Amino acid sequence: MWRNLKWKVLLTATALGCGVGASKIANSDDPATALKLCTAVPVRLFRLSVTAAAIAFDYEYSLMGLAEDSDERERVKHEVHIRGARRLEDLCFKNGGIYIKLGQHVGQLDYLVPIEYAKTMRESMLNRCPTSTFDQVCKVVKKELGGAPEEIFDEFDPVPIASASLAQVHVARTHEGQKVAVKVQHTHMTDTAAADLATVELIVNTVHRFFPSFDYRWLVDEVKETSPKELDFLNEAKNSVKCMDNFRRLSPHIAAYIYAPTVYWSLSTSKLLTMEFIEAPQVNDLKSIKKLGIRPHDISKLVSQTFAEMMFKHGFVHCDPHVANLLVRTLPSDRSSIFGSRKPQLVLLDHGLYKELDNYTRTNYAALWKALVLADAKAIKENCKKFGAGDDLYTFFTSILTMKPWERVIDPAVDHLAISDQSELQIYGPEYFSQVTELLRRLPRVILLMMKTNDCLRSVDNALLQRSSLESFLIIGRVSSEAVIQEKLLKAKSLFSLISVWLEEISLEVRFTILRLALWVLQFKKSLSL
């Protein structure tokens, strides 16, 4: 009787599913796309379910009977992590689209997911993104701009120069002779994005129900919020304009050193973006950068200054600063110095993912980084609690932000935040997994994105200098302190309070001068020991 009932339920569900699908196709403005959606989504959901089940079963079966703290369990767990990471990688590439985006997020979570997952995703998700065929590109261009690429542009290279999770870029030339970069959205993105996010959310919620310590719901929430904005290329164009306007208004002292490509508005839509083509090496292309006469050290300082100004003064932050989105060229108005070096200009690409920090978040985040750089334990704790870390988890929060154990964070030494070993903090992942997961659940999502931005910037620093930059931390400390002082000056309501703020400003200036001298002495000693 159960078998008969089971088959009846299955057949009824199938019939209902087919009926709903047929109805959706018949009533759709684009039946071909609706048919594709109704046939593709179940396959993608099936792959996701099978992968999740396979990973869960592998952990359950492989670790069964092994003592918690045994070396054998750690060895087997490492092997299971690798197999799970490869299964997840395979799923992301087969399903594509939003799955690639999720894989990229996982690749930047060294402090939360096992390092095997982070490393696998990081090495593959940025360099092996799928590409659309030229026929698909032509369809997007015709639908968005009203004509074939050869009609809209004087020249259009059919081979993309770059491909990412959401779109790919083609080099073209306008009828007026300007060389441009045309960013064309992958056609499958909008077709399946909503359904993909719904299925991923379903699986993550289900896994969390059975394994409460496995809580990545915040990651799905973040992708759900940011994906629609990233899929709207006109929003990206507006972000680039606002970014440059912020530097001119709020950070005029470095505005000339920052650049975003000019947008061709008449050749841009929500799914196609035409921009000025910039010929410049990526920020990690040290060989090309040195040929330009630019010192990697100067670029590191400029990157730190740029993003510190965004976070602590503008409150409008580019949240995807990986190496492919940062180009470097010589400052157009600059001439080489007597030593032959040139000043750099940082070109910011891909403005799809920005985060706005309200005034409370911006100023308290600045106060937290000021305290971190100055190793002020009391202020660190006070500002961590404002973001929800509490008395129990503020040390984890500071450790994730700085990639240093708490004892080093509050060490008054000038190099206390320098990372000498990238794996120094990875003990926090497996040992305190539940606490860190709880911390990330409590923190505002905007702070989670700031943490991701910090990780990207740390990677850029390592690519430029092959080490953590001490001067970058001083720059962060100085800019965050300036933001805190500016806020206090705005709130000062009496002459006494103004004088108090001015004295604090002078005191901070003295402290940073001493820190810079101490840093110079430390670097000089290191150079003598080489």
Active-site amino acid positions: 320
DSSP string, 420-465: S-TTTTTTHHHHTHHHHHHHHHHS-HHHHHHHHHHHHHHHHHHHHH
| Spatial distance between the Cα atoms of 258 and 344, rounded to a whole number of angstroms | 9
Locus of tokens 């001439």: 335
Q: How far apart are the first and last CA of the chain?
A: 81
3-class SS letters over 350-406: CCCCEEECCHHHHHHHHHHHHHHHCCCHHHHHHHHHHCCCHHHHHHHHHHHHHCCCH
| Spatial distance between the Cα atoms of 324 and 125, rounded to a whole number of angstroms | 12
Category of 10 on φ-ψ map: left (φ > 0), alpha (ψ -120 to 50) or beta? alpha
Q: Under a CB-based contact definition with an 8 Å cutoff, are residues 381 and 327 in contact?
A: no
* Phi (first) and psi of residue 176, to 5 degrees: -85, 0
| Spatial distance between the Cα atoms of 318 and 338, rounded to a whole number of angstroms | 35
Distances (CA, A) of 236 to 143, 190, 225: 20, 16, 15
| Spatial distance between the Cα atoms of 522 and 476, rounded to a whole number of angstroms | 19
Exposed (0-12), middle (13-18) or buried (19+): which is 518, by Cβ within 10 Å? middle
What tokens were used for 214? 């496995």
Exposed (0-12), middle (13-18) or buried (19+): which is 368, by Cβ within 10 Å? buried
